């Protein structure tokens, strides 16, 4: 049986565990530094197994040596946003947590694939890569799937159609500078530029960029977790089952799209080895500029990270 470890047993981590359990992909281990939290969440999920019919192990522990032999490690650990906070505001706290967690992953399960969820996402993926020293393809960030699924939902809602008929691509950093691409966003193969006026599309793009903040404004004491967990579960399934799907993820670029040495959201071929290929799309000059601006925003936060002495 495969093994998936989830570090961070808060809302995103525990919901991811539940979604993965229902996919019957692997045994699942929940980790946290809060005593009792991962064990309580795991036991609660296991007690639902007779009804939901997932016959796998779900275990919770504060002992990170139990990471051993994980196929995939999902890192959700960190503090969540509150109203008025940007993802970048989490940098100082979450970078220290990520450094500690990444060291444990490298120590106990050096052959695993890491899926980073903690914010600021692209910078936390960069930090995880640098701390672990893993191969580039074995560290990937969950961002583009979440951003694109929000865009898909907003499009379906506006058109009054099934979400099943929508597809979308969102590039760039996971933040306000993300780059949704209407030309590559379709309904049953029809570009949304043929179905919606330009000003409506721009409003949907802006709502997508602010999608996380919109939820934070309602919750007040936390951030989104159902949709992020669903996106993580899709990525883990792709890796464990070697589905080799093309999905928008945060990947380390070495010149692709003219970007060097940063994690940025792009379409990737995701399979058992992690990021097996980066797909380069033809972009218009405006789209290229927007993506470069997004990459610059990620680079600026990395410079702040370097100022904290964690690299």
Handedness of CA 33, 34, 37, 39 (dihedral sign): positive
Q: Where are the domains of the chain?
A: 3-141, 144-307
Q: Which tokens is 30 given?
A: 């929940």
pLDDT value for 175:
82
How many Cβ atoms sit within 10 Å of the Cβ of residue 190?
A: 10
* Residue 57 near residue 30, CB atoms below 8 Å: no
Lowest mean pLDDT among 148-157, 244-253, 298-307: 298-307
> In 3D, which of 198, 199, 193, 132 has the Cα closest to residue 168?
193
pLDDT value for 176:
85
Handedness of CA 301, 143, 267, 17 (dihedral sign): positive
- Counting Cα atoms < 13 Å in the Cβ hemisphere of 228 gives 26
Query: Each residue of 31-67: pLDDT tens digit?
Result: 999 999 999 999 999 999 999 999 999 999 999 999 9
> What is the third-level CATH fold of 144-307?
L-2-Hydroxyisocaproate Dehydrogenase; Chain A, domain 2 (3.90.110)
Q: At what angle do helices 144-159 and 226-240 cross, to 10 degrees?
A: 120
pLDDT value for 81:
64
Q: Which tokens is 104 given?
A: 């444990």
CA distance 29 to 42: 8
Strands 179-180 and 186-187: unpaired
Handedness of CA 241, 246, 249, 253 (dihedral sign): positive
CA 257 to chain centre: 20
CATH number of 3-141: 3.40.50.720
Name, in order, each residue with C-beta under 8 angstroms of 267's C-beta and a sequence gap of 6 or more.
144, 169, 171, 246, 247, 248, 278, 279, 281
3-state helix, strand, coil in the chain (%, to 5): 50, 20, 30
Query: Each residue of 261-297: pLDDT tens digit?
Result: 999 999 999 999 999 999 999 999 999 999 999 999 9
Q: In the structure, what pLDDT confidence band is assigned to residue 86 with cuts at 50, 70 and 90?
A: low
Report pTM: 0.95
Q: Report the catalytic residues.
A: 174
């Amino acid at each position: 049986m495969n093994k998936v470890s989830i570090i961070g047993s808060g809302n995103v981590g525990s919901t991811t565990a539940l979604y993965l359990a229902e996919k019957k992909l692997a045994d699942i281990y929940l980790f946290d530094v809060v005593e009792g939290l991962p064990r309580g969440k795991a036991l609660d999920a296991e007690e639902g197994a007779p009804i939901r019919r997932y016959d796998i192990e779900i275990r919770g522990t504060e002992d990170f040596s139990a990471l051993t032999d994980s196929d995939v490690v999902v890192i959700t650990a960190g503090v969540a946003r509150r109203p008025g906070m940007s993802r970048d505001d989490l940098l100082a706290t979450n970078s220290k947590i990520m450094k500690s967690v990444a060291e444990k992953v490298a120590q106990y399960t050096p052959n695993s694939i890491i899926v980073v969820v903690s914010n600021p996402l692209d910078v936390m993926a960069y930090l995880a890569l640098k701390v672990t020293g893993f191969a580039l393809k074995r560290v990937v960030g969950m961002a583009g799937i979440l951003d694109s699924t929000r865009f898909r939902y907003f499009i379906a809602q506006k058109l009054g159609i099934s979400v099943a008929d929508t597809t979308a691509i969102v590039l760039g950093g996971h933040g306000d500078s993300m780059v949704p691409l209407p030309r590559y966003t379709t309904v049953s193969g029809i570009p949304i530029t043929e179905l919606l006026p330009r000003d409506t599309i721009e409003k949907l793009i802006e709502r997508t960029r602010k999608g996380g903040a919109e939820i934070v404004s309602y919750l007040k004491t936390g951030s989104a977790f159902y949709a992020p967990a669903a996106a993580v579960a899709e990525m883990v399934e792709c890796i464990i089952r070697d589905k080799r799907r093309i999905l928008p993820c945060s990947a380390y670029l070495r010149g692709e799209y003219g970007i060097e040495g940063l994690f940025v959201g792009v379409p990737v071929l995701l399979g058992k080895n992690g990021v097996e290929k980066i797909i380069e799309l033809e972009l218009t000059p405006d789209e290229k500029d927007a993506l470069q601006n997004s990459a610059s925003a990620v680079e600026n936060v990395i410079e702040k990270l370097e100022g904290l002495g964690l690299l």
